[in-house]
Amino acid sequence: MPFDPRSLLDHKFRKIRHSYTEKDCILYALGVGMGIDPLNEDCLAFLYEDGLKVLPSQAVIMAHPGFWAKEDDTGLDWVKVLHAGQEIILHRPFPTSGTVEATTRVTEVIDKGERIGALIISDRVVRDVATGEDICTLITTILARGDGGFGGERKTSARTDIVPVREPDSVCDLPTLRQQALLYRLSGDCNPLHAVPEVARNAGFREPILHGLCTLGVATHALMKTCCDYDPGRFRRMRLRFSAPVYPGDTIRTEIWREGEAFAFRCKSLEQDKIVINNGYLLTG
């Protein structure tokens, strides 16, 4: 069916109930690159069941609706869909196992023109089934590059956070593995763009790219190390924009600026010499 922004706003997502275990938490941490140095005891705390910690960025996979842009009734050119931005608001740390549920809803569709595409913003509130308490709120922005120019109102996107024009206060370099995307997809994001070379080439990439949310996980590791002393309880809120794809095997440099009680950050692929995450904001407690 053709793309219709009005029907997308009315799209009814089913409620997702998601049970997870300590093993799932460990698999997620491995998928975003924790444990590349298996002797780093700070990282081991996210990979070993005795005293296990949960990375705050694991919130993005909880009660995830899957690759819904590929469903026929959305009308989206799914091969050209990219993750453009993500916000995580943590109301409390995730337990190491449990059952959560959430319902995704599309809140806004913004026409950026035929050349750029359509911005589609959705959110979901993840709740603990056992207690009924909200654990986190997730706000996701995707760019449908093949679906702009539908004649909608040309709205201005929300103001982005500004990265300071000065040398960063801290820098953290973290490598990714060549097989990183294949590891990360085991946590539930099975978009073939990140696994099948032909699909990646058809989308304009030389090879499968790393999931944007995997890159977000690497950035979270850098922020946990640099700003939170690896304590998930200090991680309150993060938002960012994805500005360029990462190829598995790239080294990601996270540049961090302290701004009062918060932090600004951005990430760069050293091999590509490109900013891959920009306009980052972190609030700690």
**Active-site residue list:** 189, 194
What is the Cα–Cα distance from 195 to 91, expressed in whole angstroms? Answer: 33
Q: Is 50 helix (H, G, I), strand (E, B) or coil?
A: coil
> 212: how many CB neighbours lie within 10 A of its CB?
24
Closest CA to 55 of 63, 64, 45, 65: 45
38: left (phi over 0), alpha (psi -120 to 50) or beta: alpha
**Radius of gyration, alpha carbons of the chain:** 18
Token pair recorded at residue 28: 């997620």
Token pair recorded at residue 262: 């918060």
> 30: how many CB neighbours lie within 10 A of its CB?
19
Q: Are strands 170-175 and 251-259 parallel, antiparallel or unpaired?
A: antiparallel
Backbone angles phi, psi at 204, to 5 degrees: 100, 15
Task: Answer whether 246's CB lies under 8 Å from 209's CB.
Answer: yes
22-31 vs 212-227: helix crossing angle, rounded to 10: 100
Task: Answer whether 17's CB lies under 8 Å from 40's CB.
Answer: no
